[in-house]
Chains A and B, each alone.
Chain A
Amino acid sequence: GEQVEQRPPHLSVREGDSAFITCTYTDPNSYYFFWYKQEPGASLQLLMKVFSSTEINEGQGFTVLLNKKDKRLSLNLTAAHPGDSAAYFCAVRGSALGRLHFGAGTQLIVIP
C-alpha cells in the first residue's frame, strides 16, 4: 500500500525566513495531493490541493510543488510569521478510492 514519508518532523525558523517541508510517496498511481494545517488544539484545515503532473501552486505566503517523476510533494512557507506556527500534514490519495494516506506531520515553530 501507499507509504508517505514526511520530513522534517520538527522545524524552527525565525520570523521572515522560509520553512520547507517535504513528503515522498510510493504509489506511482497517486494523483491527488493535499496539505493540511493544524493549529494547537484545533482540527485540520485544508491549505492547498494539487493534482497535475508537475505543478506549482501559490497561496497566501506559501508555495506547493508537486514532482510526480520523483514522487515528491513540497510545501514552502515564504517569509514565515508566528501565525504559521502549527502542525502541517501532507496527504496523498493513492489508487484506492476515497483513501488518503497522511504523513506523520511537521511541527513548525516560527520564532518572533
Chain B
Amino acid sequence: EAAVTQSPRSKVAVTGGKVTLSCHQTNNHDYMYWYRQDTGHGLRLIHYSYVADSTEKGDIPDGYKASRPSQENFSLILELASLSQTAVYFCASSDYRVNQDTQYFGPGTRLLVL
C-alpha cells in the first residue's frame, strides 16, 4: 500500500505569516500534488510536480509556492497567509507507469488562518 505522510497535521497561523506544509512519500512515485479542500467541497489542484527540482501550476496557484527538493518530498509554501487560505490541504502521489496513475493521498493538514 502506498504511503504518503504530511506534517503538520494541523496548524494555526496568523494573517501575513509564512506557512510551510510538508509532504513525504515512500512510494518511489514521480508525481506529487497539493490540493486544497474547503468545507463541503471537492479538491482543487494548487501545484504539482513530476520530477525533483521542478514544479507546475495547477488550477489555483495564486498565493502559493511549491518546492520539490527530492523525489520523496514536496512542500507547499504560503508566504503571506490570508484568511481565505483556511482549508484542509491534501498531498498525493502517483506514478503514471503503474496502477493506472492512481493517486494516493496523505492524511491531510488542517490549516486555520486567523
Contact = CB atoms under 8 A, between A and B. Distances in A.
Given A98-B50, A104-B42, A43 B108 contact: yes
A24 B107 CA distance: 28
Interface residues of A, number: 23
A103 B107 CA distance: 20
A40 B108 CA distance: 12
Contacts of B105: 36, 43-45
A22 B101 CA distance: 22
A107 interface: yes
A99 B45 contact: yes
Given A43-B107, A44-B90, A98-B48, A105 B42 contact: yes
Contacts of B107: 42-43
Given A44-B90, A98-B31, A49 B102 contact: yes
A97 B50 CA distance: 10
Interface of A: 6, 32, 34, 36, 42-46, 49, 51, 89, 91, 93, 97-100, 102-105, 107
